[in-house]
Amino acid sequence: MSASTTTIPVGSWVLVTGATGFVASHLIGQFLHRGYKVRGTARDIASASWLIEELYKSYAESGSFELVAVPDIAALHAFDEAVRGVSAIAHVAFVLSSSPEPAKTIAPSEGSVRAIMSAASKEPSVKEVVFTSSIMAVALPIASNAVRVDRDTWNDAVVEMVSAPPPYHPSHAMFVYAAGKYAAEKEVWRLVDETKPNFNVNVICPFGIVGEPLHKKHVESPANWISIISKGQKEQLDAFPASFFSDVQDVATLHTALILDPEVKNTRLHAWGYPTHWNDFFTILRRLRPQKQFIDDYPNPEYLPMYTDQSESLRLLQKWGNRAGWKELEISIRESVESKYLDL
């Protein structure tokens, strides 16, 4: 269900960056189903062709969906052409780097934000911009971090973690990713404060995300936890045995709300979902696939002591998704397991 009043009229163009990504590909579908036109960006059009030729083929054929190439999202004028005529922007794309070297992630992450803000500021049709941030910009999700998160909570600790001189161990890459998310969101709010743009800016900070993959690349992603569990790769789970998870469709709905809801301005939305432990995943997967052997339960499981007020996220889910709460974890896992792209 959508509200009767929206910030931009149905039929307007919306730019979604990083179109092939897990969240972005779901978000594109939600805007299309609501009657909006979508322009997606991809580093390489050929690798994104499945969106045009398969998933959203009918929308592409009717002229409601198109793709444009943005090879380097950190280049200053990267999005100048892509934003032409759009009324809203969802900047979901992020700098993909497995390098443990901070310079290869942090500076490009900031550059990507500047590129979007610069392009949007030169396009008078732009009214709304939402940025996809992360819990990693907010706080480290570890058992010793009993933090109460609000709008002004930042993962300052990660800046110190990545400031050490080289050489860098490969495990350093996780903290570099976190620092990149931190730096990118800090740059968003710095530019909002300093440039006073003529468009509204909101930010969403999700935690873990699970749900139906729309392409095989979503299963192959290093963040597809169902795939990681099914392969028995316990070492990848050990760093964060407890977390919060929400469904990808809920996260996509909240992105649409942050663009379409006229009451939501200058908002930093924490979208965490349910507190979970890997043992919860194992239990559900054993029930769904009793013939398969999964990783043994962790002994003495503990949930994260972190807390944030999610009432605004839940209110927006109700208003824009007609949902009384987060999608149940078991449903999200089932939709992932039953996907044609996951052999489980």
pLDDT at 169 over 80: no
**Which residues are paired to 330 by β-bridges?**
none
State the pLDDT confidence band at 220, using cuts at 50, 70 and 90: very high
Question: Which residues make Cβ contacts (< 8 Å) with residue 198, sequence separation at least 6?
Answer: 121, 124
pLDDT tier for residue 44 given thresholds of 50, 70 and 90: very high
pLDDT band (50, 70, 90) for residue 243: very high
The confidence score (pLDDT) of residue 163 equals 85
Look up residue 300 and give its DSSP letter.
Answer: S
In 3D space, the residue among 20, 62, 69 whose CA is nearest the CA of residue 45 turns out to be 69
Residue 170's pLDDT band (cuts 50, 70, 90): confident
Mean per-residue pLDDT over the chain, rounded: 96
Mean pLDDT throughout 156-182?
A: 87
What is the domain partition of the chain in residue ranges? 13-210+247-273+309-326
Residue 240 vs residues 109, 142, 228, 302, 322: alpha-carbon distances, Å:
24, 7, 13, 11, 32
For residue 311, pLDDT over 50 is answered with yes
Give the confidence band of 216 by pLDDT, cuts at 50, 70, 90: very high
The pLDDT assigned to 207 comes to 98
- 3-class SS of residue 90: strand
Average of per-residue pLDDT across 9-38: 99
The Cα 11–Cα 192 span in angstroms is 27
Q: Each residue of 105-125: pLDDT tens digit?
A: 999 999 999 999 999 999 999
pLDDT at 56 over 50: yes
The CATH number assigned to the domain with range 13-210+247-273+309-326 reads 3.40.50.720
Nearest to residue 75, comparing CAs of 101, 43, 45?
A: 43
- Size (the chain), residues: 344
Q: Give CA–CA dist 79/266, Å, rounded.
A: 22
Residue-wise pLDDT for 262-308, tens only, equals: 999 999 999 999 999 999 999 999 999 999 999 999 999 999 999 99
* pLDDT number for residue 1: 40
Q: What is the pLDDT of residue 2?
A: 44
The two structure tokens encoding residue 328 = 């149940």
Q: Are 215 and 341 in contact (CB under 8 A)?
A: yes
For position 4, what pLDDT does the model report?
A: 65
**What is the average per-residue pLDDT within 133-154?**
96
pLDDT of amino acid 96: 78
- Arithmetic mean of pLDDT, 64-88: 98
pTM for the predicted model, two decimal places: 0.96
Position 99 scores a pLDDT of 79
DSSP lists the bridge partners of residue 170 as none
What is the spatial distance between Cα 288 and Cα 276, in angstroms, rounded to a whole number? 18
Percent pLDDT > 90 in the chain is 89
